[in-house]
Structure 1
């Protein structure tokens, strides 16, 4: 298993919702996480991206749209969050960390 994998920004469901709301795919995914009650900490060094990342509070996703996003098969996690394994609110299934192949993210 290679980690991370996939590109959720290119997912057809994400792109469809981005067009519908006149937002970027990244904004749709950030809004989805916020509406799920998760703390979101996006990172950027470009002022225009920082501004874009903050422009997620002027719209909401409907329950139907939230359900569509839950069905997206592409999953990417850039931080293993292994310090929280075993915590009752750990949001991911148990994974044998030793079997994951770390990959670098080239920009």
Structure 2
């Protein structure tokens, strides 16, 4: 969570970078399931509905290039916010997950 744009937006809203990223996904209509066993972190993760990112902030976050991928998310191919523009969707291996 060291991306300067994320840190700048977090400071502006007085929230954590994780909250910025969770809110960004939520405003795009993408569900996020963050993992935590810490009660404080669980509360932090759910505390993303008291603020809204501006259209300019959303555009800034959309412009950040992804740097690491642990899972291809092939079940989301075709979604307008599919985050990996470097994935050749015709050649990508398919997971067992499917959205119907």
Coarse TM-score class (shorter-chain normalised): 0.7 to 0.9
Q: Which structure has the higher relative contact order (CA within 8 Å, separation 6+)?
A: 1
Aligned residue in 2 for 1:94:
88
Structure-2 separation of matches of 1:14 and 1:57: 17
**TM-score, normalized by length of structure 2?**
0.75
User: After TM superposition, what 4+ stretches of structure 1 lie above 4 angstroms from structure 2?
Assistant: 95-98
Q: Unpaired segments of 5 or more residues in structure 2?
A: 94-100
Q: Unpaired segments of 5 or more residues in structure 1?
A: 1-8, 99-107
The equivalences for 1:1-107 within 5 A come to: 9-82=1-74, 84=75, 88-89=78-79, 91=82, 92=84, 93-94=87-88
1:52 to partner: Cα distance = 0.3
CA contact (8 A) 1:11 1:74 kept: no
Aligned pairs, how many? 88
Structure-2 separation of matches of 1:60 and 1:76: 26
